Amino acid sequence: MHKRPFGRTGWQVSEIGFGGWAIGGEWGSVSDQDAEAALHAALDHGVSFLDTADVYGNGRSERLIARVLKARGKGDVTVATKAGRKIQPHVSAGYTPAVLEKFIDDSLRNLELQALDVVQLHCPPFEVYYRPEIFEALDRQVAAGKIRAYGVSVEKVEQAIKALDYPIASARQSCCSISPGEETSPSSHACRSPAGCSRESCAPTASSARTTIARSTVTAKHSMWARPSPAYPSTWDCKPSKRCARWRRRVRRWRNSPCAGSSCSTRSLQ
């Protein structure tokens, strides 16, 4: 398993990561036994980067990761979690230093860690990027020893670029595609800047075709138009439309490409 530098941290992480959304159980029923087996398989094959979030199964994904790492030892495994989607309604005003500290404390308990490796703001409203006090609060959490680094989960180019005004370690792109001949990830452009950060691609095959280790599969299949997630109803509830037809065509192109079933379809850090 090849490794790459993780942003400004000086850490080395596997270039293929394990996404912990599915083991939270929101894409269908996943037993603890199957979820743990998937995590063990990933770690046995050299994966050293695990991505999760506090809303994945309301902490279940974090707790499963904690159980597996406790059984085998954390070693050099880097765990990145996310915070902010519990805020309802999900608006900028809901992001406060006190709220973020509570989310961080909850994740510390779930993951059974003294310090979180990486905390990413979970697709925050665009206004949050123009509130430096939020990022200063994360700096204080680093100084307090509760987190080691922080980043953002972004959906737009502007968000990734604006986030580089702050000392982030990573930018996670939601629902990007890295199909051959395509470059659709906003964070890929931002992370080429001299400031530097790591890019973690979410759903690199558009959450369709066969799920792979990067999307934390167990053995299930899912598609974004057939199985919407309750965590992102507005994003994933894709009814028959021209938009869905475009996704289906993209999936067909990917399935017929040389990348289908190979590691180039599952790279998590670029």
What letter does residue 114 receive in the DSSP assignment? S
Distance in angstroms (rounded) separating the CA atoms of residues 184 and 13: 23
Range of the domain at 9: 3-265
Tens-digit pLDDT profile for residues 118-141: 999 999 999 999 999 999 999 999
Residue 197 confidence class, pLDDT cut points 50, 70, 90? low
Whether residue 270 is contained in a domain is answered as no
Mean pLDDT of the chain: 76
Phi, psi at residue 105, to the nearest 5°? -60, -40
Beta partners for residue 83, in sequence order:
121
Tens-digit pLDDT profile for residues 167-181: 887 666 554 434 333
* pLDDT (0 to 100) of residue 226: 34
CATH assignment at residue 29: 3.20.20.100
Distance in angstroms (rounded) separating the CA atoms of residues 104 and 144: 12
* Counted domains in the chain: 1
* pLDDT (0 to 100) of residue 190: 45
The structure's pTM equals 0.71
Token digits of residue 77: 């495994």
Tens-digit pLDDT profile for residues 22-79: 999 988 899 999 999 999 999 999 999 999 999 999 999 999 999 999 999 999 999 9
List active site positions.
Answer: 56
* pLDDT (0 to 100) of residue 7: 83
Whether residue 85 is contained in a domain is answered as yes
Cβ-Cβ contacts under 8 Å for 162 (sequence gap 6 or more) = 129, 130
Query: Do residues 164 and 197 touch, judged by C-beta distance below 8 A?
Result: yes
Whether residue 136 is contained in a domain is answered as yes
